[in-house]
């Protein structure tokens, strides 16, 4: 197949030029490619290894080619593409939905207002034309964001290719008959010299570095990124930020930095050639790739950051919504935007293991879905389909997903936000404290508030038809299972004479009333008084460590009473924490609560910790009991006992030992996939 491609090439300062430089050699492996460029610059070549002809736009003759591919971007570098596409019925590669800047450059800047007004009237009718005439008089600005100016372009093409589901939906809504094919954006997985560029920036390896990349336009949320940074440095004064890209005349970014008092924390590096640009991405720990409003574009900078295994924070809008939640963190673009960015950055700084997992998943995703070899082959196949008159297949708009790894780092990236707030905005800390009836309860809850709020955050929400059981219920978080997480039936259980049930009622300081039946039995000996498959979720929090004889009895019964696909949420002390490791190295007992318990005035003795668990123990326990681990992470019980164990972390690093899952509390979520697999797993039970 002979294919003509209209696209800018480097050194044209546009991301689509870099995109074409990467894509076309892989497309040329499946078709004979001629590239047509505009006047005014000398394009870089592809080297002798790639038989791609680079020609001037004036040499184009449609009859010489089987198909013509027009690459559309929303800037002046694509005016010549626009001109030819309106004359020749070809394939449109739509990098963005909105083409208003392109059309205004092709008309107002080049041929005058009359042509622009004609196009506006064709696109939007009389109301849009009235606004445009006011813009001509200088009364208002051009309606760039509300009027996409793509109708004429779409009507000229025989088919469109886009990079994601968001763009597919937008083009469907444009009410044209053009068939739409989806191909993922290609991704770069380059080698970088991280240490060299951090050294040149004067930044040590342990200094958190956040990066913002690309043309520094207002819609890239530069102001919001700086406002977030103002809060981040209060908690992490060593944190630094770099802004790499050409400065926009309408955004006084340097003045903003000074006014926010960030002069010692944020540097504007300005425009950088693509080789240095990529190196600066590689030097960062965290990248921000924010947009609002969006024109549906897929960011090449974002793909480079993902390919480099960076933890990236994006805006939860437009094409970013197509990305799997497991490979990036998504910030809303409402009034909570800055708060989310702050919390995400703080989390990624404080939890390098989370940063590493997100980055590794990002690299795995782009390597599988977005390699240039794969993308080039997909382009060739889809272009042949279009040439043959085939319509898009349903599967062509679907991307395969990357399953989360079931290991010590398994977690859901969307749920890692370490915030007090639930998904609906409820202040979880205040909600829990409001149900504390006496000083002893307040003291306990304040000590464990970090654990309690995180437990609610990781518990899957329910519906009116769902039932949840909290084992060892103290009624601290039990009311929230109904009022916050939405379960229709909430039940509790506790250690006591089997067959008895106590009805507990509690009222919050705000007047919210809650009732719950608490069933009594021995969790490691008795059959639980519930039907098979009767619960959607079971919480077993700070209970496992108290079992003396048979934890698999508990896990077997939990499996029985859970529906297939239901979840168990488990928290327990981590015997492999930095604190425990440091204690053992210093000659002390590593347990979090290893003491014997003196009897009270009535001679009663509360159950003590019988065994504290390692992460691998819980992995074995879950899998033996018929559960897949869908989330495993650690965190402190409370801020006051977090401690400073940096010296232990340094030892682990020095001897290349694992540093993940090293906080005091283990959080695990398992999903029931079937019956128990091993009643007495050899890793946990001695066999006589």
Q: Distance between CA 399 and CA 381 in Å, rounded?
A: 16
pLDDT of 13 > 60? The answer is yes
* pLDDT confidence bin for 437, thresholds 50/70/90: confident
Q: What is the pLDDT of residue 236?
A: 93
Q: What is the pLDDT of residue 201?
A: 94
* pLDDT confidence bin for 49, thresholds 50/70/90: confident
Q: Distance between CA 204 and CA 212 in Å, rounded?
A: 19
The predicted model gives 462-470 an average pLDDT of: 93
The predicted model gives 183-190 an average pLDDT of: 85
Q: Is the overall model pTM greater than 0.75, yes or no?
A: no
Q: What is the pLDDT of residue 417?
A: 40
The contacts of residue 508 (CB under 8 Å, 6+ apart) are 431, 434, 435, 479, 514
The predicted model gives 573-602 an average pLDDT of: 92
Q: Are 14 and 77 in contact (CB under 8 A)?
A: yes
Bridge partners, residue 669, by sequence: 569, 631
Residue 541, φ and ψ in degrees, nearest 5? -115, 125
pLDDT of 400 > 50? The answer is no
- In CATH terms, the superfamily for domain 2-99+150-182 is Glycogen Phosphorylase B; (3.40.50.2000)
**H/E run at residue 300:** helix 300-307
User: Which tokens in the block code for residue 504?
Assistant: 């507990």
Q: Is the peptide bond before 293 cis (omega within 30 degrees of 0)?
A: yes
* pLDDT confidence bin for 404, thresholds 50/70/90: very low
Q: What is the pLDDT of residue 190?
A: 79
- In CATH terms, the superfamily for domain 428-672 is Vaccinia Virus protein VP39 (3.40.50.150)
The contacts of residue 107 (CB under 8 Å, 6+ apart) are 113, 115, 116, 119
pLDDT of 407 > 90? The answer is no
Q: What is the pLDDT of residue 204?
A: 93
Query: Is 441 buried (19+), middle (13-18) or exposed (0-12) by CB count in 10 A?
Result: middle
Q: What is the pLDDT of residue 408?
A: 29
Give ranges for CATH 3.40.50.2000 in the chain. 2-99+150-182, 194-369
Q: What is the pLDDT of residue 394?
A: 55
Q: What is the pLDDT of residue 342?
A: 93
Q: Please give the DSSP secondary-structure letter assigned to residue 428.
A: H
The predicted model gives 229-248 an average pLDDT of: 93
Nearest of 130, 114, 147, 333 to residue 223 by alpha carbon: 333
Q: What percent of the chain has pLDDT over 90?
A: 63
pLDDT, tens digit (0-9, with 9 covering 90-100), for 510-530: 889 999 999 999 999 999 999
pLDDT, tens digit (0-9, with 9 covering 90-100), for 609-635: 999 999 999 999 999 999 999 899 998
The contacts of residue 252 (CB under 8 Å, 6+ apart) are none
Give ranges for CATH 3.40.50.150 in the chain. 428-672
pLDDT of 295 > 70? The answer is no
DSSP 134-155: HHHTTSS---TTT----HHHHH
Top mean pLDDT of 183-187, 400-404, 655-659 is at 183-187
Q: Distance between CA 452 and CA 445 in Å, rounded?
A: 8
Question: Which residues in 598-661 belong to E strands, given as ranges?
Answer: 627-635
User: Which tokens in the block code for residue 251?
Assistant: 């955004």
Q: Please give the DSSP secondary-structure letter assigned to residue 529.
A: S
pLDDT of 397 > 50? The answer is no
pLDDT of 605 > 80? The answer is yes
Q: What is the pLDDT of residue 413?
A: 32
pLDDT of 534 > 80? The answer is yes
Q: Are 333 and 307 in contact (CB under 8 A)?
A: no
* pLDDT confidence bin for 418, thresholds 50/70/90: very low
**Per CATH, domain 194-369 is 3.40.50.300:** no
* pLDDT confidence bin for 393, thresholds 50/70/90: low
Average pLDDT taken over every residue of the chain: 89
Nearest of 102, 93, 100 to residue 180 by alpha carbon: 93
pLDDT, tens digit (0-9, with 9 covering 90-100), for 307-352: 999 999 999 988 888 888 889 999 998 888 898 999 999 999 988 8
pLDDT of 422 > 70? The answer is no
* pLDDT confidence bin for 428, thresholds 50/70/90: confident
User: Which tokens in the block code for residue 586?
Assistant: 């210093």
How far is residue 170 CA from its own chain's centroid?
23
Q: What is the pLDDT of residue 578?
A: 93
pLDDT, tens digit (0-9, with 9 covering 90-100), for 346-381: 999 988 888 888 999 999 888 888 899 999 999 999
Q: Please give the DSSP secondary-structure letter assigned to residue 109.
A: I
The predicted model gives 574-591 an average pLDDT of: 94
Q: Are 142 and 100 in contact (CB under 8 A)?
A: yes
Q: Please give the DSSP secondary-structure letter assigned to residue 247.
A: B
* pLDDT confidence bin for 392, thresholds 50/70/90: confident
The predicted model gives 546-558 an average pLDDT of: 96
The predicted model gives 267-289 an average pLDDT of: 94
Positive or negative CA dihedral for 423, 426, 432, 435?
negative
Kind of pairing between the strands at 329-331 and 240-244:
unpaired
Q: Are 308 and 284 in contact (CB under 8 A)?
A: no
Residue/partner pairs of 109-115 with CB below 8 Å, 24 or more apart: 109/76, 110/79
Q: Are 105 and 90 in contact (CB under 8 A)?
A: no
The predicted model gives 400-427 an average pLDDT of: 40
Positive or negative CA dihedral for 626, 543, 456, 636?
negative
Rounded to a whole number, what is the largest CA-CA distance in the chain?
A: 99
**H/E run at residue 223:** helix 222-235
The contacts of residue 38 (CB under 8 Å, 6+ apart) are 8, 57, 77, 79, 80
Q: What is the pLDDT of residue 538?
A: 98
The contacts of residue 260 (CB under 8 Å, 6+ apart) are 226, 227, 229, 230
Bridge partners, residue 5, by sequence: 35, 69
């Amino acid at each position: 197949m002979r294919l003509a491609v209209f696209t800018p090439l480097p050194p044209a300062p546009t991301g689509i030029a870099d995109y074409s430089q990467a894509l076309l050699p892989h497309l040329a492996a499946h078709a004979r490619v001629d590239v047509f460029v505009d006047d005014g610059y000398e394009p870089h070549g592809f080297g002798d290894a790639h038989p791609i002809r680079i020609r001037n736009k004036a040499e184009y003759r449609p009859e010489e080619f089987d198909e013509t591919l027009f690459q559309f971007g929303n800037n002046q570098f694509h005016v010549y593409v626009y001109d030819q596409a309106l004359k020749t019925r070809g394939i449109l590669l739509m990098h963005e939905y909105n083409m208003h800047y392109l059309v205004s450059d092709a008309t107002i800047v080049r041929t005058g207002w009359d042509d622009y007004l004609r196009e506006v009237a064709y696109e939007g009718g009389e109301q849009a034309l009235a606004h445009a005439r006011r813009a001509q008089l200088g009364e208002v600005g051009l309606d760039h964001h509300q009027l996409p100016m793509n109708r004429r372009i779409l009507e000229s093409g025989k088919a469109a290719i886009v990079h994601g589901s968001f763009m597919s939906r937008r083009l469907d809504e444009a009410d044209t008959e053009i068939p739409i094919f989806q191909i993922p954006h290609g991704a770069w997985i380059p080698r970088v010299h991280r240490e060299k560029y951090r050294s040149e920036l004067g930044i040590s390896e342990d200094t958190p570095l956040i990066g913002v990349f690309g043309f520094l336009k207002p819609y890239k949320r530069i102001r919001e990124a700086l406002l977030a940074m103002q809060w981040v440095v209060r908690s992490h004064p060593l944190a630094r930020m770099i802004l790499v890209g050409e400065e926009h005349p309408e955004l006084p970014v340097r003045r903003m930095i000074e006014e926010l008092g960030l002069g010692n924390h944020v540097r504007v590096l300005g425009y950088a050639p693509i080789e240095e640009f990529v190196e600066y991405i590689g030097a960062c720990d965290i990248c921000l790739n924010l947009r609002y409003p969006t024109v549906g574009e897929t960011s090449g900078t974002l793909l480079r950051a993902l390919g480099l295994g960076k933890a990236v924070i994006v805006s939860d809008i437009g094409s970013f919504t197509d990305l799997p939640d497991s490979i990036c963190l998504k910030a809303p673009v409402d009034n909570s935007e800055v708060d989310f960015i702050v919390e995400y950055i703080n989390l990624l700084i404080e939890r390098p293991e989370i940063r590493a997992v997100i980055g590794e998943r990002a690299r795995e995703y782009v390597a599988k879905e977005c390699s240039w070899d794969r993308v080039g082959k997909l382009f060739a196949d889809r272009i042949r389909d279009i040439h043959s008159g085939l319509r898009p297949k349903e599967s062509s708009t679907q991307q395969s997903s990357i399953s989360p790894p079931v290991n010590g780092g398994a977690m859901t990236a969307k749920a890692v936000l370490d915030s007090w707030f639930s998904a609906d905005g409820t202040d979880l800390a205040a909600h829990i404290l409001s149900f504390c009836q006496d000083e002893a309860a307040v003291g306990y809850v304040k000590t464990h508030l970090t654990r309690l709020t995180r437990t609610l955050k990781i518990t899957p929400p329910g519906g009116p038809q769902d039932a949840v059981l909290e084992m060892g219920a103290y009624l601290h978080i039990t009311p929230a299972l109904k009022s916050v997480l939405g379960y229709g039936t909430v039940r509790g259980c506790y250690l006591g004479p089997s067959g008895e049930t106590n009805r507990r009622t509690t009222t919050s300081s705000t007047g919210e009333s809650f009732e719950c039946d608490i069933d009594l039995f021995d969790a490691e000996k008795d059959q639980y008084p519930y039907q098979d498959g009767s619960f959607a979720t079971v919480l077993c929090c700070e209970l496992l460590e108290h079992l003396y004889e048979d934890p698999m009895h508990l896990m077997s019964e939990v499996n029985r009473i859970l529906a297939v696909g239901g979840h168990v949420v488990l928290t327990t002390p981590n015997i492999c924490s930095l604190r425990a490791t440091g204690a053992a190295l210093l000659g002390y007992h590593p347990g979090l609560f290893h003491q014997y318990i003196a009897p009270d005035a009535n001679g009663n003795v509360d159950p003590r910790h019988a065994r504290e668990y390692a992460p691998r123990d819980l992995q074995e326990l879950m899998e033996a009991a018929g559960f897949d681990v869908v989330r495993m992470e650690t965190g402190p019980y409370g801020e006051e006992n977090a401690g400073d164990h940096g010296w232990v972390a340094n030892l682990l690093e020095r001897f290349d030992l694992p540093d993940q899952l090293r906080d005091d509390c283990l959080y695990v979520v398992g999903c029931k996939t079937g019956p128990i697999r091993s009643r007495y797993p050899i890793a946990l039970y001695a066999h006589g």
